[in-house]
Amino acid sequence: MQPSQAQQSKSTGLRLNHVGIYAKDYDESMRFYTQTMGLKEAFTIKDAAGKPTLSYLQITKDTFLEIAPATGDRAVGLSHVGIWPENLAATVALLRQRGVKVDDPRTGATLTSITNVTDPNGIRLELLDFLPGSAPKKAMDDWK
Q: Tell me whether residue 106 is in a domain.
A: yes
Q: 1 versus 141: which is more confidently predicted? A: 141
Look at the chain and report how many structural domains it folds into. Answer: 1
H helices, E strands: number in the chain: 3, 8
CA distances for 112 relative to 9, 22, 49, 88, 91, angstroms = 29, 19, 23, 11, 16
Q: Tell me whether residue 135 is in a domain.
A: yes
Do the Cβ atoms of 124 and 79 come closer than 8 Å?
Answer: yes
Q: Tell me whether residue 6 is in a domain.
A: no
Instruction: Decide if pLDDT at 9 tops 70.
Output: no
59's CB contacts (< 8 A; 6+ apart) are 39, 65
Average pLDDT over residues 119-123: 94
Residue 22: CB atoms within 10 Å: 21
Q: Tell me whether residue 3 is in a domain.
A: no
Instruction: Decide if pLDDT at 66 tops 70.
Output: yes
Q: Tell me whether residue 5 is in a domain.
A: no
> Could you read off the pLDDT of 46-59 as tens digits, one per residue?
999 999 999 999 99
Residues 22, 108: Cα–Cα separation, whole Å:
17
Q: Tell me whether residue 28 is in a domain.
A: yes
User: What is the domain-level CATH number for residue 120?
Assistant: 3.10.180.10
Instruction: Decide if pLDDT at 6 tops 60.
Output: no
For the whole model, what pTM was predicted? 0.87
Residues 83, 96: Cα–Cα separation, whole Å:
16
> Could you read off the pLDDT of 12-24 as tens digits, one per residue?
689 999 999 999 9
Q: Tell me whether residue 4 is in a domain.
A: no
Instruction: Quote the domain boundaries for residue 117.
Output: 14-142
